[in-house]
Amino acid sequence: MLERRIDELRTAVRLAAVAGDRVNARALRAELRRAEDAWERALTALGEPSPMPPALVAVGSLLPVREQVHHALTLLTVPAAPRLIVAVHEAFFSGEMVSARLTSLRRDEERSFRSAPYARPYYLCPALTADMLAPARGLLTVSTWSVAERIVGPLSLRVHFLTAAIRVADAVVRLDAPRPATGHLLRRFAANIPGAIDGAYTPMSVAKAARAELVVHEEADRYARDEAARRAVRLTDVQRLFGARLGLVGDEAGEEATG
């Protein structure tokens, strides 16, 4: 049913494009995209393994992957790499997160924003590099964060690492029954924070050690990011969310045409 509709739309788009009717073609394309999205969703829902009866399935696994990523990022409050997002999800949320799906996520979000700006309450977008405001490789953020929060300067990776450690430690304290994955995640942070595993090793001690180092970098990092954020005012909405690419005028136009 859906597939037939997609095929019909494709034909209509082609006809409109050939006839030079651009306005109509654009509207049809948007509709086609929606139909394709629905088709994708239906397919994903089919592919999801559900060994348990529906009543017993944890809520997390029913959430789309972008919701899961959003939860993990909201817990961390800083830009994070897919690996960390998956680890946080495993440690604190239920259901399985397929890391392979994260790779296509960013492009899907950008496409969705371009076709219908601000139609969703939030978008998952890349972090921006402080020097060029270009998309930073492999770091995800949430569009509702301020631009300064989404920028990564030279010191930011460390600052984000320490901030994430504090958030994770705080979350572990709040947990009633910690899971093995939680301890594993915290230990990963603790191993690379000076003073975190000396003496008594508790979530509180990890957070304390991370705060102690954070004080050293925080100010310089904030300064660099605020400065970059001021420059970001000049960007268009799409560029501000998904990054400005340098010298890719042709590609940008190409994306517009195909996306």
Partner 1 sequence: MSAPAEEALDRIRGDAPARNHNARTISALTSNPGCNRRAIMDAAGIDKSRLASYVGFPAQFGQSQFAITRGNVFEAQVKADGCAELLTLLRERLALALPEVSYDDLELVGGNTSPELRHARTKTLLARAAAGLDDAGTLFDHPLLRLSVGGRDVYLEPDLIAFQWKGQFHVIEIKSFPVIDGQADGEKVAAAVIQSAVYVHAMRALLADQGFPSDVVADNVVLVCPKDFSNRPTVTFVDVRKQLTVLRRQLSRLTRIDVLLSLLPPTLSLSVARPAAAVVADLRRIEARYMPECLDTCDLARFCRDESHGCTRVMGHTVSEDLGGVETVETALGLARGTLPPSPEQEDAASLLRLAWSLREECFGGVA
Footprint of partner 1 on this chain (CB under 8 A)?
81, 83-84, 129, 131-132, 134-135, 137, 154-158, 160-161, 164, 191-192, 194, 213, 216-217, 220, 243-248
CB of 7 to partner 1, least distance (A): 35
In the complex, minimum distance from the CB of residue 257 to partner 1, in angstroms, rounded to a whole number? 19
3-state secondary structure of 134: coil
Q: Measured at the alpha carbon of residue 53, what is the angle toward residues 49 and 57, in degrees to the nearest 5?
A: 70
Write the DSSP assignment of 155-194 as a string of letters: THHHHHHHHHHHHHHHHHHH-SS--HHHHHHHHHHHHTST
> Cα–Cα–Cα angle for 234, 131, 241, nearest 5°?
50
Residue closer to partner 1, measured from CB, 35 or 228: 228
Strand 135-142, strand 124-129: pairing = antiparallel
CB of 90 to partner 1, least distance (A): 16
Record the tokens describing residue 14, joined without a space.
Answer: 């082609």
3-state helix, strand, coil in the chain (%, to 5): 65, 5, 25
Nearer to partner 1, 55 or 215 (CB): 215
| C-beta of 8 vs 227, nearer to partner 1 | 227
User: Least separation, in Å, of the C-beta of 147 and partner 1?
Assistant: 17
**Which one-letter amino acid corresponds to residue 7?**
D
* Closer residue to partner 1, CB minimum distance, 48 or 251: 251
Q: In the complex with partner 1, which residue's Cβ is closer, 64 or 254?
A: 254
Distance of closest approach, residue 131 Cβ to partner 1, in angstroms: 8
